[in-house]
C-alpha cells in the first residue's frame, strides 16, 4: 500500500491545508501525519511560553480532527532542526513512506532544514512542498525587472492586480479515509519547554473558534474597522493573528470570508483597509524570503547598523515591565505581558519609544516581543520593528519620532485603556491620565507611579543626532 506522510509545521488545521489535501487526493493511499517539536530551536528563537502552549493545545485538537478522518498524527520531540531531519528520516523508514507532503516555511533556518530533508530523502521518496502560508507565493509579485518590491504601496497595487486576475482557492478538509475502526489518538508528552496558557476568553483554542472569530469580525466589525482600529480601548481589530501565526487559520480563509461579506473590498470598498493589513503580512513574508539576511537580525538599510545605541539596562527593564512613566507605553507593555497580545497601534508606539526615546537597539525589542507574544511570527515582528526603527523596507523616516504623550491623548482620548492596565492611575480623570504627574502636582497629591525615565524632547534631540552621525559615516 502506498503511504503518504503529511509533515505538519505552521499549518495546524484540517480545513484549507494544501499539503494535507494533496496527500489525500489518492483514495487508495494510506495517509499519516507527523509533527516534530524542536524545543532547543525554540529557545534560540525566543519562542513565547504562551505560544508553545498554544501550539500544544492545537496539536491535541488537530490530532482529534485527523483521527475522525482516519488519519493518525504522531508528535515527536527532538532538540533542533538538525535532529528533526534525522527523526523524519527514521519515521519515513519505519512507516514505509512513499511520498512526503509539507507546506513551505520562509525563514532561513527552516528553508535550510527543508533543503537538508530534500537532499536526504529526495532519492528514496517524493517530496512535495506547497505555498500554503501565503496568498501568493514569494517571488510571484515582482517589479517589471523581476525584482522584489522594496516599498509597500507598489507591491500592494501589484498584489491586488494579481488577485483580480484570479483568487487563490480554498480546499476542503479531507473526508473519512477508511471504513473500519478509526485510529485512537496516541497521547504525547508535554513539550520540554516552558508553557503559559493563553487567556481562553481572548483566544479560545481550535479551528472552530478561529473560524467563528473571523466570521464575527467580518460580519459585525469590519464595516467600522477603518474608524476604530487605532483605538486600543475598543475591540475594533480582528484579533485572528494568534491563529494565523501557527496556521490554525489560513490567509485564504481570511480573504474569502472578507470577500463573501464585503465583495467590493478588492476595488477599494468596505473591507479594503483590512485587506491592506493582510497584504502587509504578505509583504513581510515575501521580503523575508527574498532577503534572508533579515532572519539574522540584519537591517535592510546598511547605514542604520552604525547607530550608536544607548542600551541602558535599567531603562530596558523599565520598558519591559511597563514602568517607564509614560502611561500609554506602560499600559501596552502590561497588556502584552499579561495576555501575550498587543494592539497594533500600541506596537508602533512602544517600539518607537524603545528605539527613539531610549535609543535602545531595536533587536532587543524584537526578541522581547517574540518571548511574550502568542501571535509571534518572525516576518511580521521583524518587519514591524524595522519599520519603527527606520532600518527596514518602506520604514518610517529616521527623523519621524512618535511623542508618546500625544499618541496616548490621540488614540486613548479618555484614558480608558490606560486605566484598564494601570490601576494605580484609576482615579485620574479623562485625558489627564496621560500626564499623571502634572495632574498630581495640580491636585497636591502623590501617586504610586514612576516619573518618566527620559524627557521626550531631550531624547528626541539625542536620537536625531545619533542617526545623523551614523548616516554621515
Catalytic residue positions, numbered: 277, 280, 309, 344, 362, 385
Angle between helices 152-165 and 272-290 (to 10 degrees): 110
- Count of alpha carbons within 13 angstroms of residue 306, beta-carbon side: 11
Output Rg (C-alpha) for the chain, integer angstroms: 24
Strand 99-103 and strand 73-77: the pairing is unpaired
| Helix and strand element counts for the chain (H, E) | 20, 5
- Name the grid cell of 31: 495517509
State how far the alpha carbon of 396 is from the alpha carbons of 193, 322, 383, in Å: 36, 24, 11
**Facing residues of 32 across strands?**
5
Nearest alpha-carbon partner for 427 in 404, 443, 405: 443
Task: Let me know: does 251 contact 72? Beta carbons within 8 Å.
Answer: no
The DSSP result for 274-335, as a single string, is HHHHHHHHHHHHHHHHH-GGGGGT--SSGGGGG------HHHHHHHHHT-SS-HHHHHHHHH
State the Cα–Cα distance between residues 360 and 366, nearest whole angstrom. Answer: 11
Residue 367 is inside which H or E element, if any? helix 362-372
Three-state DSSP at 75 gives strand
DSSP conformation class of 33: E
- Name the grid cell of 295: 532572519
The 10 Å CB-count burial string (b at 16+, else e) for 43-68 is eebbbbbbbbbbbbbbbbbbbebbbe
Task: Let me know: does 202 contact 49? Beta carbons within 8 Å.
Answer: no
Amino acid at each position: 500500500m502506498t503511504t503518504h506522510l503529511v509533515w505538519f509545521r505552521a499549518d495546524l488545521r484540517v480545513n484549507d491545508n494544501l499539503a494535507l489535501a494533496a496527500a489525500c487526493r489518492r483514495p487508495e493511499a494510506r495517509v499519516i501525519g507527523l509533527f516534530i517539536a524542536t524545543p532547543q530551536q525554540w529557545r534560540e528563537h525566543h519562542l513565547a511560553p504562551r505560544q508553545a502552549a498554544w501550539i500544544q493545545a492545537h496539536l491535541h485538537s488537530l490530532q482529534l480532527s485527523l483521527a475522525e478522518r482516519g488519519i493518525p498524527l504522531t508528535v515527536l520531540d527532538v532538540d533542533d532542526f538538525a535532529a528533526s531531519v534525522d527523526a523524519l528520516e527514521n519515521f519515513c523508514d519505519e512507516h514505509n513512506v512513499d511520498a512526503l507532503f509539507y507546506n513551505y516555511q520562509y525563514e532561513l533556518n527552516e528553508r535550510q532544514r527543508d533543503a537538508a530533508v530534500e537532499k536526504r530523502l529526495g532519492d528514496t521518496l517524493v517530496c512535495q512542498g506547497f505555498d500554503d502560508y501565503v496568498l501568493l507565493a514569494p517571488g510571484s509579485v515582482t517589479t517589471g525587472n523581476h525584482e522584489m518590491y522594496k516599498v509597500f504601496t507598489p507591491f500592494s497595487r501589484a498584489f491586488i492586480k494579481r488577485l483580480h486576475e484570479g483568487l487563490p482557492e480554498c480546499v476542503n478538509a479531507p473526508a473519512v479515509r477508511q471504513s473500519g475502526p478509526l485510529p485512537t489518538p496516541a497521547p504525547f508528552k508535554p513539550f520540554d519547554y516552558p508553557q503559559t496558557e493563553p487567556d481562553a476568553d481572548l483566544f479560545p483554542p481550535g479551528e472552530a473558534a478561529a473560524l467563528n472569530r473571523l466570521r464575527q469580525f467580518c460580519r459585525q466589525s469590519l464595516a467600522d474597522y477603518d474608524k476604530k482600529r487605532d483605538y486600543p480601548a475598543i475591540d475594533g481589530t480582528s484579533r485572528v493573528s494568534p491563529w494565523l501565526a501557527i496556521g490554525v487559520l489560513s490567509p485564504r480563509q481570511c480573504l474569502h470570508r472578507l470577500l463573501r461579506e464585503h465583495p467590493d473590498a478588492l476595488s477599494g470598498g468596505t473591507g479594503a483597509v483590512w485587506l491592506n493589513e493582510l497584504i502587509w503580512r504578505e509583504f513581510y513574508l515575501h521580503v523575508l524570503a527574498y532577503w534572508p539576511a533579515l532572519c539574522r537580525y540584519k537591517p535592510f538599510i546598511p547605514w542604520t547598523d552604525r547607530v550608536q545605541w544607548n542600551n541602558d539596562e535599567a531603562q530596558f527593564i523599565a520598558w519591559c515591565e511597563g514602568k517607564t512613566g509614560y502611561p500609554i507605553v506602560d499600559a501596552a507593555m502590561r497588556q502584552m505581558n499579561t495576555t501575550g497580545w498587543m494592539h497594533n497601534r500600541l506596537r508602533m508606539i512602544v517600539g518607537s519609544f524603545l528605539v527613539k526615546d531610549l535609543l535602545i537597539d531595536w533587536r532587543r525589542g524584537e526578541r522581547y516581543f517574540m518571548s511574550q507574544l502568542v501571535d509571534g511570527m518572525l516576518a511580521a515582528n521583524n518587519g514591524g520593528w524595522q519599520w519603527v526603527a527606520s532600518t527596514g523596507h518602506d520604514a518610517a523616516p529616521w527623523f519621524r519620532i512618535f511623542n508618546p504623550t500625544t499618541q496616548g491623548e490621540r488614540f486613548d482620548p479618555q484614558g480608558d485603556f490606560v486605566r484598564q492596565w494601570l490601576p494605580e492611575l484609576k482615579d485620574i480623570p479623562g485625558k489627564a491620565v496621560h500626564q499623571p504627574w502634572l495632574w498630581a502636582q495640580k491636585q497636591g497629591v502623590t501617586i504610586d507611579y514612576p516619573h518618566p525615565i527620559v524627557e521626550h524632547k531631550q531624547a528626541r534631540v539625542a536620537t536625531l543626532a545619533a542617526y545623523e552621525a551614523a548616516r554621515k559615516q
